[in-house]
A = this chain, B = another copy of it.
Amino acid sequence: MDGVTAPNVVAAVSESRLWDRLMAMARIGGFATPEGDQGVNRPCLSALDREARRLLIGWAEAAGASVSVDPAANLFLRWEGADPSLAPVLTGSHMDSQPQGGRFDGIYGVLAGLEVIEALAASGARPHRPVEVVAWTNEEGGRFAPGCTGSMSFTGFKPMSAFDGIVDADGVRYADALAQHLAEEADLARRPLGYVPHAFIEAHIEQGPRLEAEGQDVAVVTGIQGSRWFTVTVEGRTDHAGTAPLSLRKDAVQDALRAITALNVLMHDPSDVLRFTVGSVTVEPGTSNSVARRVVFTIDLRHPDEGVLRPRGDAIPGVVQAALRTCTARVHERFTAWPADFGPTVPEAVARAAAALGLKAIRLPSGAFHDAQFLAPVCPTGMIFIPCRNGVSHHPGEYAEPAQCANGARVLTEAIIKLAGRP
């Protein structure tokens, strides 16, 4: 099937089936907000998670896929290839949600993957390579932080045992929740942990506003930007707001303000690719008639290019120090993730698929983390983004239209058929 579109397969992607399944999944852990939004709270390795997985498994088996689970509870739906010995093309995402999450984040990529299998089944197509759909365990980190433990375990980014001791808010250990979960899915076929896919491709809502703002159908995701998180502690001295002359103060609010203003200059990016956020500011003692003794603020810095991310982040301590007038400051880097570049293979396949289907596409890096970040070092990797309303995600107001969801599934199908090859 190389070199031409696979119109009969792509035509078998069903907008209504995909939408109905998204809405069915949204009822598992679903809740309504006073504002009328429909949210989802479906923690990983929970009874709700297992209910959702059973629903997925039922659909997959009805379509003719085989189901198995690995030791990290990653769930696989396999559509056999003409040559079962070849490395599969892998697609999928996750089924867990944020505590106040939406109906599309994660689950969309799993159901779009299932739609690929449905389309292959309906059209009787048998690609050269197997196609596997995966639901990664614990992407969100909402119950067990950090997230992406399923994909990190699968790829060997960290040994599975590294996550054993993580506890949820109730004190339940990750290892115990995982063992209980696997016991409850003991009827499913087990597979070993990990393999090297021929390629990995994940469909997801954008979680940002660009596609909608620019009237695009899909994004060809070129990589996942890197992140560096810092905590800056500015130490001054408290004083009476009525008596202490400004010239004698060590006002931590004023010096924090100078530091952030200087950082704004350091982080200036006319191309608007760099992301610089001061999202948390705490002030002590924090009373209106006292000069602040201490201000702690956070920096979230992201950029897809390590050549930008590294020097800008490295410059933060010096810029903060230089900006201070009377206080002292400590800068602590508490998290670092360097950019993941998806390379050409999968993004090109996605771009060609969108073009073949006549859909409008742009190239952009992902601003958020995804499981794909941990597949990128292992195999050719890529992502497809679909628009979401107002860029809202991790919120009950998260929404993508049925036609937008279907477009993404069609691009995914077309790209996977090309990546899996003709028999």
The interface of chain A, by Cβ under 8 A from chain B, is 206-210, 213, 225, 227, 229, 231, 239-248, 251, 253-254, 257, 260-261, 264, 269, 272, 274-283, 285-292, 295, 298-300, 302, 366-369, 391, 393-394
For the complex with contacts A254-B264, A279-B286, A279-B289, 16 further pairs of A-B residues with Cβ separation under 8 Å are A207-B240, A213-B248, A227-B242, A229-B289, A239-B391, A240-B391, A240-B394, A241-B279, A242-B368, A243-B367, A243-B368, A243-B391, A243-B393, A246-B275, A251-B277, A282-B283
Which of B231, B291, B368, B393 makes the CB contact (< 8 A) with A277? Answer: B291
> A241 near B300 (CB under 8 angstroms)?
yes
Specify which chain B residues have a CB less than 8 angstroms from the CB of A280 in the assembled complex: 283, 286-288
Specify which chain B residues have a CB less than 8 angstroms from the CB of A213 in the assembled complex: 248
Bound CA span A292–B298, Å: 12
16 contacts between A and B (CB under 8 A): A207-B240, A209-B244, A209-B245, A213-B248, A229-B288, A229-B289, A240-B391, A241-B275, A242-B300, A242-B366, A244-B367, A253-B279, A261-B261, A279-B283, A280-B286, A289-B300
> B245 near A225 (CB under 8 angstroms)?
no
Pairs of residues from A and B, 7 with the lowest C-beta to C-beta distance, nearest first: A208-B243, A243-B367, A242-B367, A288-B298, A241-B277, A241-B300, A245-B272
Bound CA span A260–B283, Å: 15
Copies of this chain held together in the complex = 2
Specify which chain B residues have a CB less than 8 angstroms from the CB of A229 in the assembled complex: 288-289
List the B residue with the shortest CB-CB distance to A207: B243
Bound CA span A253–B291, Å: 19
> A272 near B244 (CB under 8 angstroms)?
no
Specify which chain B residues have a CB less than 8 angstroms from the CB of A275 in the assembled complex: 241-246
Bound CA span A298–B283, Å: 12
Residue in A207, A245, A287 with the greatest tally of chain B CB atoms within 10 Å: A245
Specify which chain B residues have a CB less than 8 angstroms from the CB of A251 in the assembled complex: 277
Specify which chain B residues have a CB less than 8 angstroms from the CB of A302 in the assembled complex: 241-242
- Contacts A243-B208, A243-B368 known; A277 to B289 CB distance under 8 Å? yes
- Contacts A244-B208, A288-B229, A367-B242 known; A281 to B281 CB distance under 8 Å? yes
> B288 near A272 (CB under 8 angstroms)?
no
> B240 near A393 (CB under 8 angstroms)?
yes
Bound CA span A315–B242, Å: 20
Bound CA span A260–B299, Å: 19
List the B residue with the shortest CB-CB distance to A269: B246
Bound CA span A254–B213, Å: 23
List the B residue with the shortest CB-CB distance to A248: B209
Bound CA span A224–B275, Å: 48
Residue in A276, A288, A290, A295 with the greatest tally of chain B CB atoms within 10 Å: A288
CB distance from A101 to the nearest CB of B (A): 13
Bound CA span A289–B257, Å: 19
